[in-house]
Amino acid sequence: IPTHDRKKSKSRKGDFKLEIGEDIEIVEKLIDIPEADKVDPATGKKLVCIGYDKSDKLATKPEQHYILRTLRPKYTLKEDTLYGIVQAKADDCIIEGSKFDASFMAYAVCDKFCHHMPLYRITEKLKYQGVGLCRQSLTSLVIELGLRVQPLVDQMRKQLFKQNCLFTDQTSVKFIADRYSKTVSGSIWIYAGNKPNSPPYQIYEFTDNYRQINPIEYLKDFEGIIHADAYKGYVNIDKDN
């Protein structure tokens, strides 16, 4: 065979590809022979391990929910009935007195807004995991969390406007105004910053319509450059300024 350069085989469409982050947990599973088999039956000498065959597979654990029972010891002087109680302060929570830990709140919000799961599907998934939670309770939790984080969103808006350069766009969404109505059209407006060395904030604003007044009102205190399409509302902002 005459000398030639071997051509590299081209990857075929559909070839398996798996990328694993460096910080993912590694759990080792040992599959070993019985202790009796670690001895040579002919000589009685103990076998020596000279290495391992290793294989890595992507595995998963079912979501685990549990009751976090917090105990705060109470101290006093028994001989002094007026001494009072001394104990550690309870953990702060975004919703005081809630039956849900912050970890569960984050789980529900992430499923709803990051994974786009309707609340009824989240409650169904919880049911399979042994947690009975009605949709009304979960709805109330999500609404209350939205109200509680509004000051943080307002602060993000102030920091975003300091960048003097932002990107904005609109997308139409269907929503149900009440349980008896048909779906109607609303809008989600995004306002994003992209200035170097500044927080990459992305703020989403929901409105129940597509009116020009929405971006005009939201951006009334903004001074700087706006990257947007030719939507009339954005054009009118430029005219007003």
Statement: residue 11 has pLDDT above 60: no
Alpha carbon 224 to its chain's center: 31
pLDDT of residue 15: 66
pLDDT of residue 20: 77
Report CA torsion sign: 48, 51, 54, 59.
Answer: positive
**Strand partners for 173:** 186
pLDDT tens for each residue of 149-176: 999 999 999 999 998 889 999 999 988 8
Average pLDDT on 26-54 reads 92
**Mean pLDDT of the chain, nearest integer:** 88
pLDDT tens for each residue of 54-74: 888 888 887 889 999 999 999
In the structure, what pLDDT confidence band is assigned to residue 7 with cuts at 50, 70 and 90? low
The pTM assigned to this predicted structure is 0.73
